[in-house]
Amino acid sequence: MIRASPVRSICWISSSRRDRLGDTPMLLTVVGLGSRSAGDDAVGLALVEALSETANRPQVTPLLWEDADALTLAHDLLQLPGPVIIVDCAEMGMEAGSWRFFPLEHDILADHRGMISTHGLGMAEAVAMARDLGYDHPIYLFGVQPFDLAISPGLTPPMRQRLPAIQQGLCQTIDHLIPPTLPVQIRIPLATPLKRSVLAMGIESKNALALGRADEIFLFQPLGDTADPSARTVLEDHARWLLDGGDAAPKTIGVDLHPDMFPSVMGRRLAQERGLAVVAVQHHVAHAAACMAEHGLQESLALVFDGMGWGGDATLWGAELLHVRPGHGFRLGTFAPVPLPGGDAAVKNPYRQLLARWVDADVAIDPNWCATLGFSATEVQLWTHQCRHGLHAPLSHAAGRLFDAFAALLGIAPSAITCEGEPAMLLEAAAKRFVDDGSQVQRLPFSLRQDNDLLLVDFRDLIRQFPGGHRWTQDEIAYWAMAFHHTMVDAMVQMVHHGHECTGLRSVVCSGGVFMNELVAAGLQMKLEQEGYRVFQHQRIPPGDLSIAVGQAWIIGGEK
């Protein structure tokens, strides 16, 4: 029988009047599965037990389910209020001590041979039963490859040694789904009052609403990914409640520039219903504006680096140097664009992205490399043709895609991304394993060029340095991962130099998911401050997409 043990309780508290926005937070349940009598099979239990000792996350409920079977797991899933991460030992054919994160759906499980619980729990069967019984929230598996499953109490010594790194990976995964603790609302005081009140709808994933009025912006608790039906319902209820505020109700609704995101569609519909103005803000401008609002800046350079955002010029942005002030955001620099053959399909496959970069850099594709990855000659020809002729191959400037491709180049990226930022997290973890012997870490090559007034950072020389087919040692992977991080910082510094030449400004705000990377964030801050720049990073709100609504409210509210 399953023993379900809550590790800690959650409680939402606001002021003396219970804030309606705190009544229905979108909850994430993290379930640890395993058996304590079979060596590393207990790793899921150990990881989830340790969650109570990490940073407070009131939207996360950890549970321990010991000695589970498919029937009882499927039954108990129906009692849970939102998305679930199952943490378990899994036989995945990977290096012992490695972990993977992916959605537990039937079609996904079919592509992951052997990814079944090591203690007899049929994951596919449990998920299928839960779906048949009406459970419609996302279900994920955080699987850990065991060292030994022999009958013995406690984890094996090598697994105990790996536990802190795996724990960090689990926490990063949770933070990508639901960022670290935010109060029911955060009040951000503004240095200059807004010229109009704004309800900002935020972004599709990691959604949160923001309300800007007078000299303050309120950021409300995260609602999660609006791909989840429950999050969509809560988003609409909360938005309508804020718009029903009488004389204090916002007169303008802010949305993302991407027309098809659910919060944007919802915002436009609400604006039409109520006769309100609706204003769209570009994704990266909103990122920059959020950091500026947090620090009381009225004008600044901004570096906004992430996976992608709709640019409005038929390309995908994500490595942006901006000049931002209330009501305006000007693009001064970015990474040179690279095609994504197949669009979203390429985003989910880092090795296809790497192939596209080789094609873009005129590097011959190694047939042995393709065969190792299971790419057929027909597929390679098709993707090459798409890249060269722009056929269903949107151009991406995003830094996140370069992280994906370089992780693939080193052979550490998964063949299919199932967690946002997964290759970048693996690349950062590899770089942190680098042992500094005091010698200079090699910088990788890149070039700068102008496209009219726009600075482009071109990494084709970097890609040409690694033509593929090489089998890397762990020490080599760590070295080149660290070299890549140093190179990213160098490129950012060059972009800031260009921004200073264009504007005379010496203040720089940093936002976007790439700045969750400690090596990039700390390295850039140190270099820029050594050169006399004032560097501002997020302090009260995360640098990822949760900050978007704050930026939307600040940019729109600053317009006359």
pLDDT digits (tens, 9 = 90+) for 331-358: 999 999 999 999 999 999 999 999 999 9
Q: What SS3 class is residue 492?
A: helix
CA–CA gap between residue 201 and residue 207 (Å, rounded): 8
Average of per-residue pLDDT across 381-392: 96
Q: Are residues 380 and 521 both part of a single domain?
A: yes
The per-residue pLDDT for 71 is: 72
Q: Are residues 361 and 288 both part of a single domain?
A: no
What is the band of 438 on the pLDDT scale with cuts at 50, 70, 90?
A: confident
Q: Are residues 62 and 172 both part of a single domain?
A: yes
Q: Is the dihedral of CA 70, 72, 73, 77 positive or negative?
A: positive
The per-residue pLDDT for 184 is: 60
The gap from C-alpha 470 to its chain's centroid, in whole angstroms, comes to: 29
Range from 200-214, 229-243, 375-389, 484-498 carrying the lowest mean pLDDT? 229-243
Taking the chain, what is the end-to-end CA distance rounded to the nearest angstrom? Answer: 64
| Half-sphere exposure of residue 184: CA atoms within 13 angstroms, side-chain side | 16
Pairing of strands 507-511, 300-310: parallel
Evaluate whether residue 320 is within a structural domain.
Answer: no
Evaluate whether residue 215 is within a structural domain.
Answer: yes
Mean model confidence pLDDT for the chain: 87
* Residue where one domain finishes, among candidates 143, 177, 211: 177
Amino acid at 372: T
Query: By percentage, how much of the chain surpasses pLDDT 90?
Result: 60
**pLDDT of 469 higher than 90:** no
Evaluate whether residue 130 is within a structural domain.
Answer: yes
Q: Are residues 240 and 135 both part of a single domain?
A: no
Evaluate whether residue 301 is within a structural domain.
Answer: no
**pLDDT of 104 higher than 80:** no
Q: Strand (E) positions, 38-138?
A: 60-66, 84-91, 99-103, 116-117
Short-list 19, 7, 48, CA closest to 31: 48
* Residue where one domain finishes, among candidates 131, 154, 177: 177
The per-residue pLDDT for 77 is: 80
Indicate which CATH number applies to the domain containing 137: 3.40.50.1450
Evaluate whether residue 315 is within a structural domain.
Answer: no
Q: Are residues 170 and 98 both part of a single domain?
A: yes
Q: Are residues 143 and 273 both part of a single domain?
A: no
Pairing of strands 4-6, 60-66: antiparallel
The per-residue pLDDT for 13 is: 22
Evaluate whether residue 495 is within a structural domain.
Answer: yes
The per-residue pLDDT for 330 is: 96
What is the band of 26 on the pLDDT scale with cuts at 50, 70, 90?
A: low
Please tell me which residue, 229 or 266, carries the higher pLDDT value.
Answer: 266
**Domains in the chain, number:** 3
Q: Are residues 410 and 508 both part of a single domain?
A: yes
Average of per-residue pLDDT across 430-454: 90
Q: Are residues 126 and 14 both part of a single domain?
A: yes
State the CB neighbour count (10 A cutoff) for residue 469: 12
Amino acid at 124: A
Query: What pLDDT digit, counting tens, does each position of 54-63 carry?
Result: 656 777 888 8
Q: Are 179 and 546 in contact (CB under 8 A)?
A: yes
CA–CA gap between residue 245 and residue 198 (Å, rounded): 12
The per-residue pLDDT for 12 is: 24
CA–CA gap between residue 124 and residue 107 (Å, rounded): 9
Short-list 241, 175, 185, CA closest to 208: 185
Q: Strand (E) positions, 352-400?
A: 395-396
Can you give the residue range of the structural domain that contains 89?
4-177
Q: Are residues 362 and 265 both part of a single domain?
A: no
The per-residue pLDDT for 56 is: 62
Please tell me which residue, 199 or 168, carries the higher pLDDT value.
Answer: 199
**pLDDT of 107 higher than 60:** no
**pLDDT of 106 higher than 60:** no
The per-residue pLDDT for 70 is: 66
Average of per-residue pLDDT across 103-111: 57
Retrieve residue 231's tokens: 């999050």
CA dist 426 to 89, 113, 433, 486, 530, Å? 19, 22, 11, 16, 29
pTM: 0.77
Q: Are residues 285 and 359 both part of a single domain?
A: no
Q: Are residues 74 and 198 both part of a single domain?
A: no
The per-residue pLDDT for 439 is: 77
The per-residue pLDDT for 154 is: 83
Element (H or E) spanning 238, and its range?
A: helix 229-243
Q: What SS3 class is residue 155?
A: coil
Q: Which range in 84-98, 165-179, 242-256, 289-303 is most confidently predicted, on average pLDDT?
A: 289-303
For 324, phi then psi, to 5°, come to -125, 140
CA dist 559 to 210, 279, 326, 379, Å? 17, 11, 6, 49
Q: Strand (E) positions, 428-525?
A: 447-451, 454-458, 507-511
* Residue where one domain finishes, among candidates 158, 177, 196: 177
Indicate which CATH number applies to the domain containing 215: 3.30.420.360
Evaluate whether residue 300 is within a structural domain.
Answer: no
Indicate which CATH number applies to the domain containing 358: 3.30.420.40
The per-residue pLDDT for 499 is: 98
What is the band of 425 on the pLDDT scale with cuts at 50, 70, 90?
A: very high
Evaluate whether residue 324 is within a structural domain.
Answer: no
Q: Are residues 256 and 393 both part of a single domain?
A: no
